[in-house]
Amino acid sequence: MSMFTRSRKTLLAAIVGGCMGLSVLPVQAMEHLHILIPGGAGGGWDSTARGVGEALQSSGLVTTVSYENQSGGGGGKAIAQMIESADQKAADTLMINSTPIVIRTLAGIYPQGFRDLTPIAATLGDFAAIVVRKDSPYKTFSEMAAAYNKDPRSIKVSGGSARGSMDHLVAAMMFKAAGGDAKQLRYVAYDAGGEAMAGLLSGETHALSTGFSEALTMAAAGEVRILVMSGDDRNPAAPDVPTMKDLGYDMSFVNWRGFFASPGISQEQKDEYINTLKSMYGTDAWKTVRDRNGWLELFRSDADFTRFLEAQEKELSGVMKELGFLL
Amino acid sequence: MLDGIMIGLNTAIMPFNLMMVFAGCFVGTFIGMLPGLGPVSAVALMIPITYGLDPSSGIILMAGVYYGAIFGGSTSSILINAPGCSSTVVTAFDGYPLACQGQAGKALALAAWCSFTGGTVGAIILLFAAPALATVSMSFQSSDYFALMVLGLTAVAAFAGKGQVLKSLIMAVLGLMLATVGTDVTSGTTRFTFGSSDLIDGVSFLLLAMATFALTEVIMTVLRGEHVKPQAEIDMSKLGSMRLSREEVKEVAPTVARSSVFGFLIGVLPGAGATIASFMAYGMERNLASVKEKLKFGKGSLRGLAAPETANNAASTGSFVPLLTLGIPGSGTTAIMLGALIAYGIQPGPRLFIDNPDVFWSVIISMYFGNLVLLVLNLPLIPYISRLLVIPNPILIPLILFFSVTGVYLVSFNTFDIHMMVVVTVISIVLKLLAFPMAPMLLGYILGELLENNLSRALMISDGSLSFLWERPLSAGIMVVAILALLSPLVTTLRNRRAAKEPQVAGAEESAA
């Protein structure tokens, strides 16, 4: 048990592929697991839920896994459903969510937040990255930050989500860590990641704020370079890409994806969920799914996960206040 | 490149891959025919199956399902006025009136031939110009998209019947207004949600189309009491007849040729797509038509059916250009396919056709077979499918209601959408009784979001100056075309008036002499 209740000094210490060391406890197979997905088919939440479900089922940890897409309210409808169904005894339901639950709760889009649910565990983590065209004059993030500090209007950053969402906040955090004024950031919002990438390639913006794993795919296509990423350590998939800390800026950020249960579930039930998810990491079925999707592992469970969420909330609310999204 | 094409051809004609093309087209057509369920749902269903296949076969299957679904989507648009997917909404504008006139077989056959031509012409352009066209995908900036959407809006005239110009402008504005509901990307704030979290994601286009077309149509039938009246005798042989006369073929041939190329080019742009292409092709065709032909649009014009049906298939083929050569998905469907490629460890990008020639070329070549398969699969079915219209109204009407409502629900899994559908239908019935046309509202809605987002992005990038409209040659060029499209009816009217006056003047001179 000490494995996942142990607190860590650096709250954002991302465990990338570091879960191999976790001992695999012999777990009795769960009979049934129902995963609630707060968005439609084909999105990031959907693919994660179905990937994790597939690994759990084909490794025999769970006998049957069922899924339910419940979109609406930008994901808020699913949270409300988890809370409403709390008193039902047959609650074998977990909901998938990610960093936006913290942001959208702060922004008041969701009336409820992670405190109204039972955080079970984070299972995946992705870092943020800043990407430029291959012919960009900026060779390093430090050069770009220097230009930004001199004239913040000279750098335009595109992102595939609305103003005030994760891509915007994280880019602001990065420029702030490099000594700039976060409020001055010119963030150009696109409807989707693909369009933001097209915007960068067409030359209308100078940089793109996106997830590290997505940036890796884009860089592999050969049209863009990754300037910097927000992990604590360099990633073996791209050892040339420096972290913010490598460049001397005190900033790190991880976008987690994880699972929540209804409020007020019993300790035994909670432990069963946690042990099942934890046992998944050692299985071959999981490795297949993980490698197929290019996922980076991040396991934080129970109280550790809650503390991690609280720290992230504090950090994000700071930058949201600074940018004027919160009073 | 020739070596690559040969490798691709060898891969594509492997019996297993041919089977995948067939299976993909078959499944795609059927899912596409169900109202509401379009290519995104169809391709998402294929994900687990493709894991067990090798990359070429998997992508060939998905591509088959994709254009199969767009192909099949036209069937429900034409027969019951309930679009199978958003890119076949325009197909209903002229396809359904044709079916009502007892020409369902002809309409379906024309749609099949147009889809086939659009898809095949697209595949040919893709084969010879894909790497070169990547630059087109990359060259469009927000201001150019804005200009393109303005050009698209000039088509609003195309959706207006005689004497309905004011009403159709009102409806287009209503559509633009509806497009502002939900989260504004540029500011990050929510607008017109009335505090309800259900409206944060805006109103779904398919829901609007389904409510204003399929549901309104069936309820109007009931209101008019037609469901209890004995149905007019339907000439079965005529209903199922797929014969197009030589004159009709001649009439639509130039339309099909124009729409194939135009649709493909719109599809190449990551920020547009098949739905936009179908709307714009329809508008363009109406603008090019003679005054007499213009009147037929919306009442069962063959050209009005051919243009969007050709353009949407050509555009779906075009969307493979940014996907394969740049790794940029232009739509939800191609985003799923990008995920599948990456899961195989295949990197789309400028080097794809060098690194994985078998995948790159075999997918493109499989599209020829795919379009042929779709034609062979669909044409023989038409006489049977069109008999759907012979089903007595008391059975057909509940079926349409059932499939439309479940179709919309299955996309979002949100019961709020069903409630909203009912409200939209009621409003739309009132507007219909007041003779307001619905098509301009859909045009305004589909262009509105892109129009606004691209304008605010362009303004942000240029520091609030409108100079991009004349400083960027591409934007300026498209704006000039838009202005010409707006002025052309005016010029024609003036010319007609003068032509009408001249004989009188001549007559007056004669009498004076």
pLDDT digits (tens, 9 = 90+) for B159-218: 666 667 888 899 999 999 999 998 888 888 889 988 887 888 888 888 999 999 989 988
Test B347 with A220 for CB contact under 8 angstroms: yes
Test B453 with A294 for CB contact under 8 angstroms: no
Candidates B67, B161, B154; CA nearest to B119 is: B67
Test A163 with B186 for CB contact under 8 angstroms: yes
pLDDT-above-70 percentage for chain B: 93
Domain boundaries, chain A: 3-126+255-322, 127-229
* A73 → closest Cβ in B138, B197, B349: B197
Test B327 with A190 for CB contact under 8 angstroms: no
DSSP state string for B366-402 = HHHHHHHHHHHHHGGGHHHHGGGGGS-HHHHHHHHHH
The pLDDT of residue A285 is 93
Q: Which CATH superfamily is domain A127-229 in?
A: Periplasmic binding protein-like II (3.40.190.10)
Q: Taking the CA of residue B50 as centre, how many other CA atoms within 13 Å lie in the half-sphere pointing to its CB?
A: 29
- Which residue shows structure tokens 């075309």? B481
The pLDDT of residue B231 is 61
Test B457 with A73 for CB contact under 8 angstroms: no
The C-alpha atoms of residue A159 and residue A205 are separated, in whole angstroms, by 10
- Mean pLDDT, chain A, integer: 86
Tell me if chain B has a CB within 8 Å of the CB of A217: yes
Using CA of residue B7, residue B8, residue B13, residue B19, what is the dihedral sign? Answer: positive
Q: Which two tokens stand for residue A148?
A: 């930004």
A3-126+255-322 carries CATH number 3.40.190.150: yes
The C-alpha atoms of residue A263 and residue A25 are separated, in whole angstroms, by 26
The pLDDT of residue A30 is 85
Stated length of chain A: 327
Tell me if chain A has a CB within 8 Å of the CB of B354: no
Tell me if chain B has a CB within 8 Å of the CB of A109: yes
DSSP state string for B456-469 = HHHHHHTTT-TTHH
Query: B338 and B66 in contact (C-beta within 8 Å)?
Result: no
* A76 → closest Cβ in B187, B197, B463: B197
pTM for the structure as a whole? 0.86
Test A74 with B457 for CB contact under 8 angstroms: no
Q: Taking the CA of residue B16 as centre, how many other CA atoms within 13 Å lie in the half-sphere pointing to its CB?
A: 8
Two domains, one topology: A3-126+255-322 and A127-229: yes
The pLDDT of residue B4 is 81
Q: Which two tokens stand for residue A189?
A: 């919002």
Q: How far is CA B465 from the centre of its chain?
A: 33
Test A72 with B270 for CB contact under 8 angstroms: no
Tell me if chain B has a CB within 8 Å of the CB of A201: yes
Q: How far is CA A320 from the centre of its chain?
A: 17
Tell me if chain A has a CB within 8 Å of the CB of B411: yes
The nearest alpha carbon in chain A to B196 belongs to A73
Res B43 pLDDT > 90: no
Q: Which has more pLDDT, A302 or B354?
A: A302
Tell me if chain B has a CB within 8 Å of the CB of A192: yes
Tell me if chain A has a CB within 8 Å of the CB of B154: no
The C-alpha atoms of residue B324 and residue B344 are separated, in whole angstroms, by 14
B94-151 pLDDT, tens digit per residue, is 999 999 888 888 999 999 999 999 999 999 998 888 878 888 888 899 999 999 999 9
Interface test with A, best of B85, B141, B142, B148 (most A CBs within 10 A): B142
Tell me if chain B has a CB within 8 Å of the CB of A51: no
DSSP state of B158: G
At residue B460, what is the residue type? M
Tell me if chain B has a CB within 8 Å of the CB of A189: yes
The C-alpha atoms of residue B26 and residue B16 are separated, in whole angstroms, by 15
The nearest alpha carbon in chain A to B141 belongs to A202
Test A217 with B332 for CB contact under 8 angstroms: no
Res B417 pLDDT > 80: yes
Instruction: Give the containing element (helix H, strand E) for A4.
Output: helix A2-5
The nearest alpha carbon in chain A to B44 belongs to A42
Tell me if chain B has a CB within 8 Å of the CB of A284: no
Query: B503 and B510 in contact (C-beta within 8 Å)?
Result: no
The pLDDT of residue B233 is 58
Test A156 with B183 for CB contact under 8 angstroms: no
Tell me if chain A has a CB within 8 Å of the CB of B416: yes
Interface test with A, best of B66, B185, B463 (most A CBs within 10 A): B185
In angstroms, the Cα distances linking A86 to A102, A119, A271, B176 are 21, 14, 17, 41
Tell me if chain B has a CB within 8 Å of the CB of A221: yes
B243-270 pLDDT, tens digit per residue, is 788 888 898 999 999 999 999 999 999 8
The pLDDT of residue B302 is 93
Mean pLDDT of B271-284: 90
Task: Calculate how close chain B gets to A4, using CA atoms only, in Å.
Answer: 31
Alpha helices in B226-381 (DSSP H): 236-240, 246-268, 274-288, 291-294, 302-318, 320-326, 332-343, 352-355, 357-378
Test B198 with A110 for CB contact under 8 angstroms: no
Residues of B in contact with A164 (CB under 8 A): 188
Residues of A in contact with B461 (CB under 8 A): 156, 188, 204-205
ipTM for the assembly: 0.82
Query: A124 and A297 in contact (C-beta within 8 Å)?
Result: yes
Tell me if chain B has a CB within 8 Å of the CB of A154: no
The nearest alpha carbon in chain A to B449 belongs to A191
- Give the β-pairing of A186-189 and A156-159: parallel
Q: Which two tokens stand for residue A56?
A: 């759990």
- What's the 3-state SS for B179-204? HCCEECCCCCCEECCCCCHHHCCCCC
How many residue pairs from chains A and B have C-beta atoms closer than 8 A? 142
Query: A165 and A103 in contact (C-beta within 8 Å)?
Result: yes
The C-alpha atoms of residue A160 and residue A138 are separated, in whole angstroms, by 22
- Mean pLDDT, chain B, integer: 86
The C-alpha atoms of residue B104 and residue A302 are separated, in whole angstroms, by 61
Angle at B308 between CA B305 and CA B311, to 5 degrees: 135
Tell me if chain A has a CB within 8 Å of the CB of B93: no
Task: Calculate how close chain B gets to A69, using CA atoms only, in Å.
Answer: 6
Candidates A188, A183, A182; CA nearest to A202 is: A188
The C-alpha atoms of residue B417 and residue B26 are separated, in whole angstroms, by 30
Q: pLDDT under 70 in chain A at which residues?
A: 1-27, 42, 88-91
At residue B14, what is the residue type? M
